[in-house]
Amino acid sequence: MAFPRSIAGALLLAAAAAGSAAAQTPSERQVRGWAASCAACHNTEGRSVGGFPALAGRNADDTYRALIEFQSGQRPAATIMHQHARGYTTDELRRIAEWFANVKPAR
């Protein structure tokens, strides 16, 4: 049985709506989720105290610049920061940087 055109059209519209929703400003929760992937090394909310550089309270422009440099390979990473930065779009990195800038530092 052929798939009714009207339903196919509705599905396409729904898919388009979902796509444009994803392109909208990500929610605080979404950005927090991205930032959580950094906690394995930079500690919870980036409040690292020794070893890994702290991200909490760091100037957003500085964090963003570092991430972009890791992403482009301009800045050599001793470990995996370059790979980690490549997992995000520049817009996502910008939001992650801003999120960390708003966290109260550990000390």
Binding residues (CB under 6 A) for ligand HEC: these are: 37-38, 40-42, 52-53, 55, 63, 66-67, 77-81, 84, 96
Provide, rounded to whole angstroms, the least separation between the CB of residue 90 and ligand HEC. Answer: 13
Which one, 56 or 63, has the nearer CB to ligand HEC?
63
Give CA separation, 87 vs 6, 31, 40, 71, 77, in Å. 38, 14, 16, 9, 15
Q: How far is the CB of 78 from ligand HEC (least distance, A)?
A: 3
Residue type at 10 in one-letter notation: A
Question: In the structure encoding, which two tokens stand for residue 3, read together?
Answer: 């798939």
